[in-house]
A and B are shown apart, each in its own frame.
Chain A
Amino acid sequence: MRFLRSLVFTLVLTASAGLVKADPPEQVAASIDRLFEAAWKANGVEPAPLATDEEYVRRLYLDLAGRIPAASEVRSFLADTREDKRQRLVDELLDGPAFVRHFTILWRNALIPEAFNDIGTRQLVPGFEAWLWKHFSEGTPYDQMVRDLITTPIDYGDDPQALLRSASSPSAFFIVRQLAPENLATGTSRAFLGVRLDCAQCHDHPFDKWKRTQFWNMAAFYSGFRPAGESPDAAMMMRREQKDVHSIRIPSTGETVEAKFLTGTSPEWNDTAEPRRILADWITAKDNPWFARMAANRMWALFLGQGIVQPIDDFSDNNPPSHPEVLDLLAKEFAANNYDLKFLVRTIALTRVYQTTSRLTHESQKDPAQFARAALRGMTPEQFFDSLAEATGYYQPYRTDNPFVIDGETPRGRFLELFRDENESPLMKETTILQALAMMNGDFVDDATSLEKSQTLRAVVDFPLMSDDERLETLFISALGRKPRDEEKQVFGKYLKDGGTAGNQKEALADIFWALLNSSEFLFNH
């Protein structure tokens, strides 16, 4: 029955999407590569060579599964001789649960970055993640997800605990913005349209086209939230929505303005028209000038480190895209493919641009906006800890009643807290001293490099039939997803042969593993 329903659904969608011809990912990827080749040529840029299989397999696991590949996964990819093995790996990872988990984290970071700032909103994170998880696992089209988010019911009456009890809800998007019309206007515009209204809240911006009235026109769509109880100070979660309110008073001028779209047109109001539903329909409409482009830009930035428009949510005349045709093409095909996020992932992952090496081979590759070489990208705290767990053979226990709740007292909880970073751009990632100290001297890495406690190290040390070269190679593949290079074989091979400073081969292996886990090559996606 369920299969039948989804089949009917697919047919209907295919029919409606048929209005615009949807091209397959590999074809779109090839078109993007042609656009870049032309741009590089015009700008005198010499692109970096294609990434090796070792580089590609690590990068793809980090981007699609949220962790580095296991040593066995690296080895089987390297041994695969099929010509289309990169494309096959993309498909394989996109079908796996790790993709759902990783994208849940990425989109949680994108939509409620403020959630970790206070104890109240932290509690809403598991419910928000459960909501994202549901949509990513079902493959919900992006426009439907956004519509579901913007129109989610906000009516907790006098029982705010209802919010925390609801297992799966995008409410956190509203709560972290204090249910304030002005915060929701800026939050929605930035997240889904890439339009920054923030400055227009207080004044007409001299260099921008957004006027203060337009800001409040947008805010008016969210003007119906009212305290549920008598007290005006009632807790934020004790709100109801009056669905027939679609005007708001500008505090500084006292003027009252109606809800109006950013394009300047007014919605048609009738008895059943709910402001947030009307706003959601306009935002996700096929002819909305920003919606698909913003999503395509965000996805591009997730894979390449920065957007074609950068900052990713600042589309304006003063901040033109680096490669407008690429963005237009991605946006057009995204809409034609029924806003399927996996279509964007497939397309981007198959481009030659995504598959360049991160080695700088020519001066002209230094400008990140040329996308001529893969960037060194910071990981999310989750990517980092899950990679560390993969490399060291640490088994992560999950809470069985709610896997979205992270216990702060577990190694994972402690690492996430220590490595949480408010910086949005992975190209601006910075390391703190406390992070460095934790990696150098902390218990987790200490255990991972202890002969008694480390799974990976013990396997390497205890396996009787391995040569020194093979032991070295296993440690490199476990941590860095690659075999040691010749010069590394010499330096590290000699260190191993001599038994390091302790004159003990087992200790020397621990030293080498420690150095690998502390290296930039391990810490970054590249």
Chain B
Amino acid sequence: MNAFTRRQFARYSGLSLLGASMSGWLPQLAASVQEAGTKPIRSCILLWMPGGPSQLETFDPKEGQKNGGPTKAIETSVPGIRIAENLPQVAKVMEHLAPIRSMTTKEGDHTRATYYLRTGYLPQGPVQYPTMGSFLGKALVRPECDLPSFISVNPFRAFSPAAYSPGFLGPAWSPLVVASETQQDQSISFQVKNLKPSERLASAQVDSRLNLLSTLETSFLAERPDGPGRSHLQSYEKAVRMMKSGAVTAFNLDEEDAALRDAYGRNSFGQGCLLARRLIERGVSFVEVSLSETANGGVIGWDTHTDNFNAVKSLCGVLDPAWATLMNDLKQRGMLENTLVIWMGEFGRTPVINENTGRDHWPGSWSTVLGGGGIRGGQVYGVTSDDGMEVRENPMTVPNMMATICRALGLNPEATNLSNIGRPIPYADHGAVAADSLIAG
């Protein structure tokens, strides 16, 4: 009678996934990537620094300048590149990283800047721009992966919930949000909320419930072949697929070597970076991990209006081992050349130190970092003036940054998605140009 027949329910209603063995799926996934014979699809890890990290205490130190404060610069693995002393381990993997010291925007408000950096567009008019994890996750999706293409670890959404949403791409591309939990023994674990049925239910009972549901869905939707019903069914299918999938063992960090877990740092950001690697390994396209806490669990964030130097130092104490270990771990597993790693926040901090030994919001000249897959590491992009107040060379705008990210991932920055008002929206805003020198040949 119509397109939406009972046949199409076969996969769902039979719940063929129920009995399927998931053992040995990881090699299969690797094989399917190779079989494709083309360039492997890249993945992306975003290390998001909510609040706006100080460039002067990280990647653009101004030692000896009045604005530089007490922060010293150190040598890195790449001769001639010096970064702040707060990141000694990151300094040792500089050959894989390209600090960008010339970020420049006009947005000094957390909400607007967060939206701008995470979507590539300013909030304006009726278009609901998707966060980069949504549109990049969509562009890089691997259908064979049992997990959603975009996973967000410990997101800090308060500044701008819209900056974390799939916008006009719709809920199908919204992130699977994962929050860390501290166990009684102080160890960190990650949970997908509601992934497991209630403990009082036997698995046979769970399956019989799904069969009852399938009966209802079959008769109701067969006569109502509309989009919302299809989406409902697909989401349940994906959710059940994930519930039954071996891929969720990605969340079980106990499978990792204790020494490696120590190296990442036994805190939620460090373990989150380890989780990111495990997710990428299983075919997830985009993972973001947010950092706003110190090693002992205190939440301070990068918005260091007061006591900037101590605050950034303790945040870097978490960031440095986690990020450096991530780069080494990806490299050892042969994943680095296909995994782009982005480090950024919504803006930088004022070069001038305020009366509270703090630094305020500064969008005019600040730093981000690109590294790993698609990036020619071991170089610095852009130069700021000695006092840090101005960009002197190669200013990097947000649209150009987004275009560079797309190119590093093997995507065309001019490719479009259709927006909610029927207008095609390019990945990077009209006129954006990628920084060629940052792209690996």
Contact = CB atoms under 8 A, between A and B. Distances in A.
B421 A428 contact: no
A434 B161 contact: no
Given A118-B159, A433-B235, A359 B223 contact: yes
Given A186-B126, A502-B202, 18 more contacts: A114-B162, A117-B123, A198-B421, A376-B228, A430-B171, A431-B228, A431-B234, A431-B236, A433-B148, A434-B193, A436-B236, A436-B238, A446-B198, A450-B200, A488-B219, A501-B202, A511-B205, A519-B213
B208 interface: yes
B89 interface: no
A415 to B, nearest CB: 12
A262 B401 CA distance: 39
B124 A183 contact: yes
Nearest to B158: A119
Given A491-B215, A519-B220, A526-B224, A438 B194 contact: yes
B165 to A, nearest CB: 6
Interface string B122-135: 01111010000000
Contacts of B158: 119
The 7 closest A-B pairs by CB, nearest first: A515-B212, A117-B162, A376-B226, A431-B235, A436-B239, A437-B194, A430-B231
Contact of A501 (B205, B231, B236): B205
B415 interface: no
- Of A198, A492, A515, A520, which is in contact with the most chain B CB atoms at under 10 Å from its CB? A520
Nearest to A377: B228
A198 B423 CA distance: 11
A79 B161 CA distance: 47
A109 to B, nearest CB: 14
Nearest to A495: B212
Contacts of B225: 360, 366
Interface in B134-185: 148, 158-162, 165, 167-168, 170-172, 174, 176-177
A514 B161 contact: no
A137 interface: no
Given A437-B194, A440-B197, A375 B128 contact: no
Nearest to B114: A118
Interface of A: 114, 116-120, 183, 186, 190, 196, 198-199, 201, 311, 314, 358-360, 363, 366, 375-378, 421-424, 426-438, 440-442, 446, 450, 487-488, 491-492, 495, 500-502, 507, 511-512, 514-516, 518-521, 523-524, 526
Nearest to B216: A519
A427 B228 contact: yes
Contacts of A430: 170-172, 227-228, 231, 235
A422 B167 contact: yes
Nearest to B1: A360
Contact of B205 (A120, A198, A431, A502): A502
Given A377-B228, A430-B228, A432-B174, A423 B111 contact: no
B70 interface: no
Nearest to B422: A311
B242 interface: yes
B220 A433 contact: no
Contacts of B239: 433, 436-437, 440
Contacts of A199: 423
6 contacts: A376-B226, A422-B128, A430-B171, A433-B235, A511-B205, A524-B229
Nearest to B197: A441
Contacts of A501: 202, 204-205, 207-208
A113 to B, nearest CB: 8
B112 to A, nearest CB: 9
A118 B216 contact: no
A48 B207 CA distance: 36
Contact of B221 (A119, A438, A520): A520
B171 A198 contact: no
A501 B17 CA distance: 19
Contacts of A428: 170, 227-228
A190 B219 CA distance: 40
Interface in B395-432: 420-423
Contact of B209 (A118, A366, A511): A511
